Structure 1
Amino acid sequence: MQPAPRSSARLLRAMLAPDHEPRERLVEWMTLVARYSRSSGAPGMADLPARPVPRTVFTGEHDVFLPPKRLGPAVTRTLGVELRVLPGAGHLVVEEAPDRLAALVDGGTW
């Protein structure tokens, strides 16, 4: 990705659900990340199944990086819970559906 607003907006459009447009501030943030961040290797697997805590895993219906069809089986196999899918959301649920995310965290329904 070129560290420029145009390429940042294009990447964000791919990450958002089809009916969402990236806000200008998000484009600015993504451009800064592209300019000044360097990725590292993925961390090793945590021993999550052994931790006795309640958990909910969800993804956006239109998530291109963690699509429900691919993520669902891994979540069930690894964590023993069913994947929940947020309709109308993409990869950036915090940006697209903050109220629904807050309800999930608070234990509410959506």
Structure 2
Amino acid sequence: MLAPGHEPRAELVEWMTLVARHARSGRASWLVERRARKAPAEAVTGEHDVFLPPARLRAAVRARRGGAELGVVPDAGPLVVEEFPGRIAALVSAGR
């Protein structure tokens, strides 16, 4: 859940276990997806994200967001906001 060397809180482990058991991926309707493409967005992942690793996510971000670049937070796992909230805030504030 987190990058190597970081210990997750018990409630995060419980939450991710519930998500894994009960959530199913799905595609948004074409209308929602079209509207979302017009809205400003920032795509960020952790360097050690095992669910959406940077190498896999980068092409999808470029294709869906008109060539946008993927932000990669060093030393972070999939729960970047939990591990490094300040880094996320800085990326959003910079409008990167």
Structure with the bigger RCO (C-alpha within 8 Å, sep 6+) is 2
Which runs of structure 2 are paired with 1:7-18 in the superposition (5 Å)?
15-18=1-4
SS of 1:85 mapped into structure 2: strand
**TM-superposition CA deviations, 1:27-70 (whole Å, max 9, x none):** 45456x36xx7324514251133x1x332211100000100000
In structure 2, give the amino acid aligned to 1:81.
A
- Paired with 1:41 and 1:87, the residues of 2 have a C-alpha distance of 27
SS of 2:94 mapped into structure 1: coil
Cα distance change, pair 105–68 in 1 and its aligned pair in 2 (3 A) = same
Larger radius of gyration: 1
Which runs of structure 2 are paired with 1:33-44 in the superposition (5 Å)?
33=18, 38-44=22-28
Matched residue count = 90
Structure 1: unaligned runs, 5 residues or longer? 1-14
In structure 2, give the amino acid aligned to 1:20.
H
Structure 2: unaligned runs, 5 residues or longer? none
Match of 1:73 among 38, 59, 73: 59
Q: What is the Cα-based RMSD across aligned positions, in Å?
A: 2.4
Provide the TM-score with structure 1 as the length reference. 0.67
* Counterpart position of 1:102: 89
* Counterpart position of 2:9: 23
